Amino acid sequence: MGPFDKGEIMRQRLCLTLEEMGFNIEASHHESAAGQHEIGFKYDEALRAADNIATFKVAAKTLSQEHGFHATFMPKPIFGVPGSGMHTNMSLMQDGRNIFFDESDERGLSEEAYGFIAGLMEHIKGMSAILNPLVNSYKRLVSGFEAPCYVTWSASNRSALIRIPSERGEGTRVELRSPDPAANPYLALAVCLAAGLDGIERALEPPREVTGNVYGFCEDVRRSKGVEKLPENLFEAVKHMCQDSLIVETLGEHVYNAYVEGKLKEWEEYNTQVTSWEIDKYLVIY
């Protein structure tokens, strides 16, 4: 049962409009936070999927404004509630067959699927500045709000960075849960594909699956399991990107240089601001 608010009506209108535009809407529902909604549309090839994401965002903003609402894709617009992610599901097809599926494996996953997972984990720190492009993005990637902040994978654990949804056969896929909707979809899908393919080409193997709630692990337990953290802010993410030659090569010299310049400028602007939190916290005491 959905809540009785105006957002429900707005989401229904948006779904109908998107279907008129040719979208195949597979799911539509209210999410955890107040005013937070999810609309899922059918998968497609990478470039068309990126086109659909870009079109979807423009349609959502335009239609919302026409009806007196504002649609935001800001990753963490409200303190104390879950932020907005853009969980990215990926499969690889070869000769019309999903090569991520292997019925002989205990998890139903192929060597290619494991290699793809390992590649994502190998490069996730270098990809984070693309997948989580804003200062605000890293306010979402914290413990306790269903967003991943540790580099783990699992076939069932929703606190993991990479989850394997239960469907098998042609529906076998890898879900990367760190990207947020502020990301440029063309760059995001490009680096995801490059990282995954690198894992397959180098026959990388992922670490052991983490089945427990990673948020509940103490630092010693995480260290014993070899669990690393995602970058904690935009500056750290940009540094990791600069050190990852695969991501740099995937972006190309022009995009890479312009992107780093823009993000460092954004970080400097944020880092030199005096925020209302600082005023409230320190002005009277000190």
Give pLDDT tens digits for 240-284.
999 999 999 999 999 999 999 999 999 999 999 999 999 999 999
Looking at residue 1, its pLDDT comes to: 62
For the chain, the first-to-last Cα distance in angstroms comes to 50
Which residues sit opposite 100 in a β-bridge? none
Q: What is the pTM of this model?
A: 0.92
Could you tell me the two tokens for 178?
Answer: 């760190």
List, for residues 130-161, the tens digit of each pLDDT value: 999 999 999 999 887 888 999 999 887 777 89
Express as a percent the part of the chain with pLDDT over 70: 99
Q: Residue 2: pLDDT above 70?
A: no
247 Cβ contact list (under 8 Å, min separation 6): 123, 126, 127, 130, 191, 194, 195, 241
CA nearest neighbour of 81 among 40, 129, 35: 35
| CATH number given to 83-282 | 3.30.590.10
DSSP per-residue letters across 71-130: ----S--STTS------EEE--EETTEETTB-TTSTTSB-HHHHHHHHHHHHHHHHHHHH
Looking at residue 132, its pLDDT comes to: 98
Label the pairing between strands 153-154 and 162-163: parallel
Q: Residue 198: pLDDT above 80?
A: yes
Looking at residue 221, its pLDDT comes to: 75
